[in-house]
């Protein structure tokens, strides 16, 4: 016995019968390829030793195992003599590596940096509920990819809500500070860019499956995969739309910040011009020359104050009419 981890499940699907769980993963070689069954092995955060044990059962290629061990691979599809290897990402995003052959499929699910893991419950229930009597491994792969892509739309809907919230904050009278707003916009743009990098390359993977570059994809599976490809195109378009809207939010934010700065400068310039006249009068009468006409005048002081008040009020009203104040 190998001492397999608890986080591994093996299920067999025979034509016309329900799922048969294989309690001991060491029995894979005994049940594989018998009675026309499809074998589905699922592993969660496996160690390198666990992957090597599965590799020995299905003769997995060392290069594919290396990619499954090192996270952060680009979504891709590679074909080897006895099997194919596919890399995809959930909406979280969490990496999902898939090995599949003529009558078997191995899923390797890894947690993302937040500890999130893509659940197979919906895909497993759907496959058991909808699989035809003569279901192939291609149909199982289709169900996995379709559930994976359907999860993208929930992420896109959440991104749309975030963009709308940013738009509301942008034009709110008591919105966040400029630095906070910019940080939130850039963070959302970074998340959308990361998400797009996970979604867009998957189109090439599904397109290769549609071309039947992999030998175990039958005609019925191609029909189903066409729907997955259409959903991927729609998801990519929606992501691009949200990125464009977010770019518009950033442009509007910068425009509002520029307008606010211009208004502040106009206000400061207006008050500077208003006070300049009073400062000029005060500066003239503060020179203290001996022979100045108004120095001996009893009304000279109130006269000077009157001039300064008149200049100030006239300047204020003039700039107020021009909406500078």
| Residue 158 domain flag | no
DSSP letters along 288-300, please? --SS-TTTT-TTH
Average pLDDT over residues 26-38: 78
Can you say how many angstroms the Cα of residue 97 is from the centroid of all Cα atoms in its chain? 20
Let me know: does 94 contact 119? Beta carbons within 8 Å. Answer: no
pTM: 0.79
The count of domains in the chain is: 2
| Residue 317 domain flag | yes
The parent domain of residue 24 ranges over 1-118
| Residue 306 domain flag | yes
pLDDT for res 91: 87
Where is the domain boundary, 118, 138, 162?
118
- Lowest-confidence range among 119-128, 137-146, 170-179, 243-252? 170-179
Where is the domain boundary, 65, 83, 118?
118
| Residue 290 domain flag | yes
Residue 104 sits in a domain whose CATH number is 3.30.460.20
CA–CA separation, 24 and 319 (whole Å):
86
> How far is the CA of 294 from the CAs of 210, 248, 276, 291, in angstroms?
98, 62, 21, 9
Let me know: does 291 contact 282? Beta carbons within 8 Å. Answer: no
- Lowest-confidence range among 25-34, 136-145, 227-236, 238-247? 25-34
* 173 band by pLDDT with thresholds 50, 70 and 90: low
| Residue 39 domain flag | yes
Average pLDDT over residues 289-314: 79
| Residue 248 domain flag | no
Pure H helices in the chain: 28-31, 48-58, 62-69, 121-130, 137-171, 178-210, 219-285, 300-321
| Residue 153 domain flag | no
pLDDT over threshold 80, residue 56:
yes
pLDDT over threshold 50, residue 155:
yes
| Residue 56 domain flag | yes
Where is the domain boundary, 92, 118, 144?
118
CA–CA separation, 280 and 14 (whole Å):
99
Residue 290 sits in a domain whose CATH number is 1.20.58.340
CA–CA separation, 224 and 135 (whole Å):
13
């Amino acid at each position: 016995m190998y001492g397999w981890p608890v986080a591994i499940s093996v299920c067999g699907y025979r034509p016309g019968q329900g799922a048969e769980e294989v309690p001991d993963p060491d029995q894979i070689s005994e049940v594989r390829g018998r009675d026309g069954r499809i074998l589905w092995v699922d592993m969660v955060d496996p160690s390198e030793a666990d992957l090597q044990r599965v590799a020995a059962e299905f003769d997995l290629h060392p290069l594919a195992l290396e990619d499954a061990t090192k996270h952060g691979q680009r979504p891709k599809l590679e074909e080897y003599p006895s099997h194919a290897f596919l890399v995809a990402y959930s909406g979280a995003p969490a990496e999902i590596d898939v090995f599949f052959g003529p009558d078997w499929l191995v899923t390797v699910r890894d947690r993302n940096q937040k500890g999130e893991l893509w659940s197979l419950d919906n895909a497993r229930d759907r496959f058991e509920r909808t699989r035809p009597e003569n279901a192939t491994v291609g149909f199982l792969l289709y169900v996995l990819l379709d559930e994976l892509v359907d999860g993208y739309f929930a992420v896109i809907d959440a991104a749309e809500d975030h963009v709308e919230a940013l738009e509301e904050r942008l034009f709110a009278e008591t919105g966040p500070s400029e630095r906070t707003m910019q940080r939130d916009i850039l963070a959302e743009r970074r998340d959308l860019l990361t998400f797009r990098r996970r979604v867009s390359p998957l189109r090439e993977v599904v397109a290769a499956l549609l071309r039947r570059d992999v030998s175990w994809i039958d005609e019925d599976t191609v029909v189903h995969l066409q729907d997955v490809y259409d959903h991927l195109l729609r998801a990519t378009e929606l992501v691009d739309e949200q990125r464009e809207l977010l770019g518009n939010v950033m442009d509007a934010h910068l425009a509002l910040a520029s307008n606010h700065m211009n208004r502040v400068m106009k206000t400061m310039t207006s008050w500077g011009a208003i006070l300049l006249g009073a400062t000029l009068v005060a500066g003239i009468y503060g020179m203290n020359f001996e022979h100045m006409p108004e120095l001996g005048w009893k009304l000279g002081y109130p006269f000077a104050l009157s001039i300064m008040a008149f200049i100030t009020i006239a300047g204020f009203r003039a700039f107020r009419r021009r909406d500078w104040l």
